[in-house]
């Protein structure tokens, strides 16, 4: 196991009228999707929601986030999941038309950590 783990925090924004549907979709995340995330190195993964405006905050730990993202992007199950989730999110930015939700997440910069 690597000596360092990346702590990754990211933001996404839901369509306000689809928040309840999005939450319901996560009541039963597909087992194959969960397995793919684990196999790709996503650990300690959580999603948080600010219901007032649909802000989603994600957090995960992984040895290499770029490699974890690439591993997920290479799976068929992720392509299907992202296609299903796309309807819940605000449209992607004009610079990324048609991008999947996992391609438009806004990663935050970690600048302090207390063990």
Q: Identify whether 26 is a catalytic site residue.
A: yes
Residue 97 phi/psi, 5-degree rounding, is -60, 135
Cα 61 to Cα 6: distance, rounded to the nearest angstrom: 6
Q: Exactly one of 26, 80, 84, 107 is catalytic; which is it?
A: 26
Sequence-distant (≥ 6) Cβ neighbours of residue 42 within 8 angstroms: 60, 62, 68, 72
Beta strand ranges found along the chain (DSSP E): 6-13, 43-50, 55-62, 106-107
> What is the DSSP code (8-state) at residue 77?
H
Q: Give catalytic residues, as residue numbers.
A: 26
């Amino acid at each position: 196991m690597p000596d360092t783990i990346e702590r990754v925090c990211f933001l996404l924004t839901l369509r306000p009228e689809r928040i309840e549907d999005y939450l319901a979709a996560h009541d039963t995340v597909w087992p194959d999707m969960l397995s793919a995330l684990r196999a790709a190195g996503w650990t300690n993964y959580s999603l948080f929601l600010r219901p007032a405006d649909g802000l989603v905050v994600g957090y995960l730990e992984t040895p290499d986030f770029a490699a974890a993202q690439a591993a997920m992007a290479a799976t068929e199950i992720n392509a299907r999941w992202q296609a299903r989730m796309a309807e819940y999110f605000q449209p992607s930015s004009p610079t990324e038309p048609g991008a999947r939700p996992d391609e438009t997440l806004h990663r935050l910069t970690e600048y302090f950590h207390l063990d």
